[in-house]
Amino acid sequence: MENSIFLGGGGEDYATQQFLNLKYANRHGLIAGATGTGKTVTLQIMAEGFSNAGVPVFLADVKGDLSGLAGSGSADFKLHEAFTSRAETIGFTDYSYESFPVTFWDLFGKKGHPIRTTVSEMGPLLISRLLELSEAQEGILNIAFRLADEEGLPLLDLKDLQSLLVWVGENRKDLSLRYGNISVQSIGAIQRRLMVLENQGAAEFFGEPALDLRDLIRTTDTGRGQVNILAADKLMASPRLYATFLLWLLSELFEDLPEVGDPDKPKLVFFFDEAHLLFDDAPKALVDKVEQVARLIRSKGVGVYFITQNPADVPEDILGQLGNRVQHALRAFTAKDRKDLRLAAETYRDNPRFSTEEAIRDVGVGEAVTSTLLKKGVPSIVERTLIRPPSSQLGPISDALRNDVMAASDLDTKYRDTVDRRSAFEILKSRAEQAAEDAERLEAKEDNMSAPDREFASGRRYNGSRVGKSTSRRVGRGSQKTFGEQMTQMVVKELTGTTGRKLVRGILGGLFKGR
């Protein structure tokens, strides 16, 4: 079938080819099934199909296996005979081995090009979700973002947000009159969460140059879609960071991409692996946002495919929008499992040849129950399908090949080095230093005044003797520091992180690392 992706063979003896129509591929989809039933291979062959059709894809490589898309399959591979036999069974006559155009990304910049965003672009809602803040703490974070806009303080990286929160704490009495109570305890709690996030490596994610979404939506000179692979094996140690990042990326696509109506094929396909992490303990406001994005982003030409073990992991309002489905086996070991199995089967159009519930329970590895959208968006009758074998390498590629792919990309120099331009941290630091200099000049001016003039300037009653000032110079162990010097040192110390904090990071880093 033209303008479609070949999924595998269904029907009697698996001789009826099953396709995913590209025109309806932006109506979203679901790949579900228990561990070890073949979800990763299904994701791999779908990425291959979209790429060959000229559709860029973005996917997260949770286990490292999907990096094999950058390498070609081989006749020396142990499953070569099994793959060729399966291809013959399902009528995959032009089956061959090939590699695909891959761009590797990594939030930590180790296994791919660094992928960054700014604190401002992430926004208070997602950062609150990331930090697991309470309602009161989230309110203070919203105040901080509001003040950043009003004061012209760009929030680019974590130290910008940390320094702004210090400034909010120092001016909390005045700010509370306008925005409501601002407690030191809440600010301290946010700062501690930011420190934990920083120790998990997220500081590298916030900064510039920020990701240009156009670099995800690219095709090769031969018209093949670019396969964007996010290295997520290390990222999965921080599941909330993983889920928040993917949600942010999805939201950015929704906000920035233009309307394209009803295209012949998607502009980009976004695979959201381990989708349950997005919805676990998520507040209703966040789930509502995901539902809104899923409902409207298809008009931007973006198809979203959720990958999870059980369809029940996805809220019903979102599940109802997933028209293209590949359901691998669900095992029914408990009463709850049997209930989930029955509910999953009820969402398909029945096939008179077999029981959908039994098929979902009994399909083997590499086999699935499939249903895709047909003409006018009508879902097809459910079918037991033998998934086609992949053309790219099954399993991870070598580190040497990964490095070669990264070095050959024109994005290597674009994102390699961090740019630290003037932002909230530098502006607040400059203001503090200026205030310290002004205070020091005023002190020096008062020192040169006559006693009556000094009394008049300070507004105190003159009694013939000079009143001691907190701003006077103090002598300490062979060195003298003015108030201005002391204030500058104190503020800079607060904004950059004290030696004591660095010691705590070294001593307690192991405790935070696993959180």
pLDDT, tens only, 111-129 = 999 999 999 999 998 899 8
What's the pLDDT at 361? 93
0.85 surpassed by pTM: no
Q: What pLDDT was estimated at residue 301?
A: 94
Looking at residue 457, its pLDDT comes to 65
Helix (H) or strand (E) holding 8: strand 4-10
| DSSP labels, 324-373 | EEEE------SHHHHHHHHHHHTTSB--TTS-HHHHHHH--TTEEEEE-B
> For a pLDDT cut of 90, what percent of the chain falls above it?
60
- Residues with pLDDT less than 50, the chain: 461-462, 467-479, 483, 491, 494-515
The beta-strand segments (E) located in 49-126 are 57-61, 102-106, 113-114
Cβ(231)–Cβ(49) below 8 Å: no
Omega of the bond prior to 124 within 30 degrees of 0, cis? Answer: no
Closest listed residue to residue 280, CA positions, set 309, 256, 302, 260: 309
Instruction: Quote the pLDDT of residue 501.
Output: 38
User: Tens digit of pLDDT for each residue in 163-173?
Assistant: 999 999 999 99
Q: In the chain, what's the furthest Cα-to-Cα distance?
A: 110
